[in-house]
Structure formats: C-alpha cells, structure tokens
C-alpha cells in the first residue's frame, strides 16, 4: 500500500462543517414503515409547515438556485477506515476513484441542510462520517450527495438512509464489509470488481426495491428473506434455504449476503 500522510482538508475550511450535531437515528425511516400512507402524508405536512415558518433567509434559499459545497479528506496513516453515511432524505451516489480518502460534492437548498463531514483517526483505524445535520427536516429538493472514495484503503461502508434513492458503485473499493439500512426508496448496489478478501453484505430493506450486482469469479452465498415482495436471483440457485452460485464451495474468496426485504422486490444479479 502506498505511503499516506495525514493532511485532512476541505475547500475553504476544516474537515468538519455545517451543524456540529449529526443526524443520529433516522426517525423518518422508523415512522414511515409503520403506516406508509398516513405517515408519508404527515412527513410532507411537517416539511411544508417548516418551510412556511422559516425566516426570510431560508425563504430566499428555497426559491433560489441550489447551493453547492465540495469537501475533501486527505489520506493518512490509517490502515482501515469505517465510512458511515447518514441521510434522512435525498439522493445518494457513491463510487470509487478518489486519490484522497474522500471527494464529496453536495447539492442542497437550505444553508442549514449543509452536510457535516468529520474524520477521526486513532491508532491504525479511521472513522469517516458524512451526515445530514441533526434536526434538519427541511432539506428540500434537490438534496444530493456525490461521494468518491479511495480504492486502496480497506473500508467498511455503512449507509443509513431515510427516504430517497441510492446508487452505490462499490466493487472497485477494497471492501471489508457493507451495511445498508433503507427507509423508503430504491437501492442499486454494484459490487462487481476484484475483491481481495471475504466480506459480508447486510441490507435491511424498508419500502422500495433493492438490486445487487455481484462479481464473477468468487463464491456467493446469500440469505434473502422478503417481506411483501419478490426475490429474483439470477445466476444463483437455491439450496437449503440459501441462494448460492456454482463456485461457492471451492472459491478462494466468498461474499456472504444477508438481505432482509420490507415492502418491495429484491434482485440479485450474479450472471
């Protein structure tokens, strides 16, 4: 692995920006799943109420052009990094290809919706967190994150999503594990690439569809349990309650998936 020196930075200021309070538990996801029709109506009503009660600065922001913020986090000596994304509502796009640890491009309407980026390192481990500010229920539209991560640093990737769509092209990363918690929306995850080790993928579905594209040349073992919806596994066969490919018994590297669907369809593509 190439030598890395720690020099965290971002355009125009320190790493951590926006509100200092992270969006902890995605409460929006919790109540939406209880009663989709009633609760979605409630969420929209609360958002509208928030907009009508905002100050003049917020009013101008809502009617004006979207705001952009670009942030970067440089590589340091961490030998592995946990990347956690917490978005209450919006569009998430994650890919590799950064020469840094993170290149982020954020688009949002309200100044108080500016995402928070924080990186902390202790010993040989790093913790990178990207979060919608705590208590921000007026994100508006558009609200979009475009994140590029480094391909060479071993990573655990965690996404906690409330409402919206996520496109996660993770196959080029050096993955140690993936965990996604969905609220209301769709997930398209691409794991195709050349994995360096066994790793686990956990997907907890909410209301929406999840598609996972799997790499060739490795073993695949998937436990997929749907709620209200279908499971479509292409290139896999079901044995003893699990979905597996032909190479799972003798492959040097195996990806283990645990997918729990909510209301929607699960599609696994291994061909």
pLDDT digits (tens, 9 = 90+) for 188-217: 999 999 999 999 999 998 888 999 999 989
- pLDDT reading at 57 higher than 50: no
Angle at 18 between CA 15 and CA 20, to 5 degrees: 85
d(CA 49, CA 212): 37
- Note the pLDDT tens digit of each residue in 161-185: 999 999 999 999 999 999 999 999 9
Nearest CA to 199 out of 169, 172, 229, 219 is that of 219
- Note the pLDDT tens digit of each residue in 234-269: 999 999 989 999 999 999 999 999 988 787 888 999
CB 149 within 8 A of CB 96: yes
Cβ neighbours for 242, distance < 8 A, ≥ 6 positions apart: 221, 222, 223
d(CA 215, CA 188): 14
pLDDT given for residue 141 in this prediction: 74
Enter the pTM of the model: 0.77
Q: Is the C-alpha dihedral spanning 70, 210, 85, 134 positive or negative? A: positive
Of the CA atoms within 13 Å of residue 35, those in its CB half-sphere come to: 5
Highest mean pLDDT, choosing among 44-48, 50-54, 263-267: 263-267
CB 106 within 8 A of CB 114: yes
Identify the DSSP state of 112: G
- 10 CB neighbour count, 10 Å cutoff: 19
d(CA 117, CA 15): 6
Domain range annotation of the chain: 27-190
The rounded mean pLDDT for the chain is 80
Nearest CA to 178 out of 83, 86, 266 is that of 83
Encoded tokens for 131 = 């979060």
Cβ neighbours for 106, distance < 8 A, ≥ 6 positions apart: 68, 69, 70, 71, 114, 115, 144, 145, 146
């Amino acid at each position: 692995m190439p030598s890395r020196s720690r020099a965290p930075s971002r355009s125009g200021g320190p790493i951590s920006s926006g509100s200092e309070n992270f969006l902890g538990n995605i409460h929006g996801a919790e109540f939406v799943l209880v009663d989709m029709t009633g609760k979605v109506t409630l969420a929209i009503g609360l958002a509208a109420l928030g907009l009508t009660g905002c100050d003049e600065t917020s009013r101008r922001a809502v009617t004006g052009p979207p705001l952009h913020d670009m942030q970067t986090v440089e590589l340091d000596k961490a030998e592995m990094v946990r990347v956690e994304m917490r978005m209450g509502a919006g569009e998430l796009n994650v890919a590799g290809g950064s020469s840094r640890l993170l290149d982020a491009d954020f688009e949002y309407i309200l100044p108080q919706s500016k995402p928070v980026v924080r990186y902390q390192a202790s010993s040989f481990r790093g913790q990178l967190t990207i979060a919608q500010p705590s208590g921000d229920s007026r994100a508006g539209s558009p609200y979009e994150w475009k994140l590029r991560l480094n391909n060479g640093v071993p990573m655990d990737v965690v996404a906690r999503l409330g409402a919206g769509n996520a496109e996660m092209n993770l196959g080029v990363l050096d993955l140690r594990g993936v965990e996604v918690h969905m609220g209301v929306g769709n997930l398209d995850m691409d794991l195709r690439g050349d994995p360096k080790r066994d790793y686990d993928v956990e997907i907890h579905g909410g209301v929406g569809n999840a598609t996972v594209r799997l790499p060739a040349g490795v073993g695949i073992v998937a436990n997929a349990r749907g709620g209200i919806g279908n499971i479509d596994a292409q290139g896999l066969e079901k044995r003893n309650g699990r979905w597996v490919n032909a190479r799972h018994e003798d492959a040097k590297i195996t990806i283990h998936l645990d997918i729990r669907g909510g209301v929607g369809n699960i599609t696994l593509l291994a061909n």
